[in-house]
Every structure is written in structure tokens, then in C-alpha cells.
Amino acid sequence: MGKKLSQADYDKIKRNIVKKLYASKAFVKGHLLYERLTSGIPSHLSGFVDDVLHELMKEEIVLLYGRTKHGDAYQLNVKKLKQIEDLIFNYSKEHK
């Protein structure tokens, strides 16, 4: 039986993915490979990255840029910029 992901850990992974894409300016022309998105996430949570990334894609916050010769690449949806910035900056203010 697999472990269940707590809401706090889910939020950490979600924010981590979005912050990395935002910091890399991965919007219209920029992108980040899957390996770069998953680096920096603790090993005990790394198994849940695919689930969180899939949820972000369902919400259309993260888009699949395409497949490159190095793997899948992702970018942020520029149309959801306000929601993305709220996710990053408002969470930081609440938890200081």
C-alpha cells in the first residue's frame, strides 16, 4: 500500500515546481526539463512529483512545452500569471 501525500507536502511540491519555472522565466519561449523541476525535492517526496505536475497541468498553470531530445519540457501559462504570482508570493507572506 502506498503512502499518502499530506496537504502541506502537496503545497510544498506545487510551490517548488511553480517557483522554479517562474525563476527561469519559463513562459512563452522558455522551458524547463522535467529533471530540473524535480531536482531539489526531498527524496521521500520525489515519487509524488508526477501527480502534482499532472494536477498543475489540469489547472492549466503548467503547460507541456514539448518533448525534446533530452526529455519532456514544461512552461508556465502566461494567461494565468496573476494566479501563479499569488501562489508564490502570498504563500511566502502567510508562512513567515
pLDDT tens by residue, 6-19: 888 898 899 999 99
Give the predicted TM-score (pTM) of the model.
0.84
- CB neighbours of 86 closer than 8 A, spacing ≥ 6? none
Distance CA 33, CA 72 (A): 6
Of 2-6, 22-26, 78-82, the poorest mean pLDDT is in 2-6
Boundaries of every domain in the chain: 7-94
**7-94 domain in CATH 1.10.10.10?**
yes
33 close to 76: Cβ distance less than 8 angstroms:
no
Alpha helices in the chain (DSSP H): 7-23, 34-38, 49-58, 81-85, 91-94
Give the mean model confidence (pLDDT) for residues 15-36: 90
